[in-house]
């Protein structure tokens, strides 16, 4: 079933898995994987001497544990393939990395405003953008949760998830999770889809070319 994935989704999953292997190989013995030198270089660092522009993309290919990468890649597998088939490769990649960049930007603003200095890793910003897009384009598609196994329409699933993320981010009740970055991924995806819709309307208003 995995080979049937469209090429961009498959490439993203493979890249994430290979980066996780590289993280594991370069991690310092006796210390968590986040402490590895490769992870420290590519993770999204707060604004300061250790921040580099490339980290706004590379952080989305790093993960801190097997559970972390499993759930992100499972979501990419479930939702990314459908959206890539629906949009095609160029729009899918444009959307995914816009969500990643928006999530990173929101996370940088959050750490700066809160005065925290924790690094950020994970594909969750891009994944949350995909969740929003899936609910927008396939709102009545049924989604079966893993825990608990309750089926619900995509629009309801994403709405509930978004509200939970907002609550956890505002209250700070779940530490070490970048809730506002997740919401930033959704925001970035929403802006991209809005831009596409405006482009389509302008194209239709102009009509076909005269030649």
State residue 162's pLDDT score.
73
pLDDT at 188: 95
What pLDDT is attached to residue 166?
66
- pTM assigned to the model: 0.86
Cα distance between residue 58 and residue 1, in whole Å: 28
pLDDT value of residue 146: 62
CB-hemisphere CA count at 13 Å for 66? 0
Token pair, residue 74, equals 């499972």
Residue listed under structure tokens 């995995």 = 2
Residue 156: its pLDDT value, please? 84
Q: Which domains does the chain have, with CATH numbers?
A: 2-206 (1.20.1540.10)
- List average pLDDT for each run of 10 residues in the chain, which is 211 residues long: 80 96 77 68 91 95 90 90 95 97 94 85 92 91 72 81 65 63 90 92 74 60
DSSP 80: I
Contact status, residue 153 vs residue 71, Cβ threshold 8 Å: no
The two three-digit tokens of residue 189, written as one number: 């995806």
Of 86, 76, 197, residue with least CA distance to 131:
76
């Amino acid at each position: 079933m995995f080979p049937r994935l469209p090429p961009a989704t498959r490439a993203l999953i493979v890249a994430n898995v290979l980066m996780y292997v590289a993280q594991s190989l370069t991690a310092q013995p006796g210390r968590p994987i986040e402490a590895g030198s490769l992870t420290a270089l590519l993770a999204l660092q707060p604004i300061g001497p250790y921040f580099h522009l490339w980290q706004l993309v590379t952080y989305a290919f790093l993960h801190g544990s097997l559970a972390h990468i499993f759930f992100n890649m499972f979501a990419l597998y479930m939702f990314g393939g459908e959206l890539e088939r629906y949009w095609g490769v160029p729009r899918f990649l444009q959307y995914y990395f816009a969500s990643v960049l928006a999530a990173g930007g929101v996370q940088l603003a959050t750490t700066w405003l809160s005065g925290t200095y924790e690094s950020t890793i994970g594909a969750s910003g891009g994944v949350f953008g995909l969740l929003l897009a899936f609910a927008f384009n396939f709102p009545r598609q049924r989604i079966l949760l893993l825990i608990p196994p309750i089926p619900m329409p995509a629009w309801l699933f994403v709405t509930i998830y978004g509200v939970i993320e907002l609550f956890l981010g505002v209250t700070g009740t779940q530490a070490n999770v970048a809730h506002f970055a997740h919401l930033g991924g959704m925001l970035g995806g929403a802006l991209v889809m809005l831009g596409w819709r405006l482009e389509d309307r302008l194209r239709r208003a102009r009509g076909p070319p005269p030649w």
